[in-house]
A and B are shown apart, each in its own frame.
Chain A
């Protein structure tokens, strides 16, 4: 048996890439066998893994699902695709968390921010030059759709407050606190502990500069409540926020969220 685009296909001795193309995907223009680009005259052997791709084509939803979970640990995709994650703040933490969760196939993301993309954001946030001036919510939705167009994404384009956070996020499986200011980080945690009992929550504090990698840690401070960061390094004059270290913290958050969704806590 061989696999073509992750689907099983009965092997016949002597078949070539062009036979697979004719039978399965006549418009394919990129052919990959066992990880290497090949030509239509390449012979296929039993056990080979083949990809027939149309350059620039968006795979249909079912195929996309299959492609996504082909590289996952078994069982991960089914669980995460039915999950809802809220992200408060779409800056250097939130935009990175969102993209990681989209790539891993989290089914529904609630994205909250009121701000627009500014040039100074591009040193660490997952936006592009041609998105300067766009709402971060809209820009991130656009970028996530280029990763996986079949995600459900809801945009919350407001300034969140201690009063409104519980309203917007009561249905989520995990809430990610990715705010910029220390004040809103405190507001977020207080909401989680008072108004959203039982909620799983992953916040962050202490992500600036270029201090040691391993000072960034993930700590469970209460049942289902986690804080990521070194808890010390504030963004301030002379100590900026930069893609590498904010990214380390954001991926701590994303991995902790995934662990919660997979009950690995």
Chain B
């Protein structure tokens, strides 16, 4: 997936029209803490996995 340079995890998630609070993120094998979404900038070649949750239980 092509992204603009300087895109943060938060920006990536918002760009996909998702709520960052409902997404668990693994970036290059590390789970990213929620408070880091806004300042974690993605690099070329980063492998990002998003696990997105929907409500109901």
- The verdict on A108 contacting chain B, using a C-beta distance below 8 Å, is no
- The verdict on B1 contacting chain A, using a C-beta distance below 8 Å, is no
Binary interface encoding of chain A residues 144-173 relative to chain B, with 1 for a CB under 8 A from any of its CBs, else 0: 000000000000000000100000000000
Residues of chain B within 8 A of A91, CB atoms compared = 57
Q: How far is the CB of B21 from chain A (nearest CB, A)?
A: 4
From 1 to 57 in chain B, residues with beta carbon under 8 angstroms from any chain A beta carbon are 19, 21-24, 26, 31, 33-34, 51-57
Q: How far is the CB of A99 from chain B (nearest CB, A)?
A: 15
Whether A189 contacts B57 in the complex (CB less than 8 A), given A162-B34, A194-B31, A221-B51, comes out as no
Candidate in B24, B34, B51, B54 with the most chain A CB atoms within 10 angstroms: B54
Q: Of B33, B56, B57, which one neighbours A190 at CB under 8 angstroms?
A: B33
Q: Of A178, A183, A232, A246, which one neighbours B22 at CB under 8 angstroms?
A: A183
Q: Considering only CB atoms, which chain A residue lies closest to B56 in the complex?
A: A235
How many angstroms between the C-alpha atoms of A128 and B56 in the bound complex?
A: 20
Q: Of B24, B51, B54, B57, which one neighbours A178 at CB under 8 angstroms?
A: B57
Chain B interface SS verdict (over half): mixed
Question: When the two chains form their complex, are residues B54 and A190 in contact, meaning their CB atoms are under 8 A apart?
Answer: no
Q: Considering only CB atoms, which chain B residue lies closest to A189 in the complex?
A: B24
Question: When the two chains form their complex, are residues A206 and B23 in contact, meaning their CB atoms are under 8 A apart?
Answer: no
How many angstroms between the C-alpha atoms of A112 and B47 in the bound complex?
A: 35
Question: When the two chains form their complex, are residues A179 and B31 in contact, meaning their CB atoms are under 8 A apart?
Answer: no
Residues of chain B within 8 A of A181, CB atoms compared = 55
Question: When the two chains form their complex, are residues B22 and A180 in contact, meaning their CB atoms are under 8 A apart?
Answer: no
Q: Of B19, B26, B31, B56, which one neighbours A206 at CB under 8 angstroms?
A: B56
Q: How far is the CB of B35 from chain A (nearest CB, A)?
A: 10
Known pairs A193-B31, A232-B54, A241-B57 / 5 extra A-B pairs, C-beta < 8 Å: A92-B57, A182-B54, A206-B54, A207-B57, A241-B56
In the complex, how many residues of chain A place their beta carbon closer than 8 angstroms to a beta carbon of chain B? 34
Whether A180 contacts B57 in the complex (CB less than 8 A), given A186-B22, A190-B31, comes out as yes
- The verdict on A208 contacting chain B, using a C-beta distance below 8 Å, is yes
How many angstroms between the C-alpha atoms of A207 and B23 in the bound complex?
A: 17
Binary interface encoding of chain A residues 197-238 relative to chain B, with 1 for a CB under 8 A from any of its CBs, else 0: 000000011111000000000000100000100011111100
- The verdict on A89 contacting chain B, using a C-beta distance below 8 Å, is yes
Pairs A-B, 10 closest by C-beta atoms: A235-B56, A234-B54, A182-B22, A185-B53, A182-B53, A182-B55, A208-B56, A93-B57, A180-B57, A183-B21
How many angstroms between the C-alpha atoms of A242 and B57 in the bound complex?
A: 9
How many angstroms between the C-alpha atoms of A92 and B26 in the bound complex?
A: 29
Q: Of A93, A193, A194, A205, which one neighbours B54 at CB under 8 angstroms?
A: A205
Residues of chain B within 8 A of A193, CB atoms compared = 24, 26, 31
Q: How far is the CB of B29 from chain A (nearest CB, A)?
A: 11
Q: How far is the CB of A118 from chain B (nearest CB, A)?
A: 15
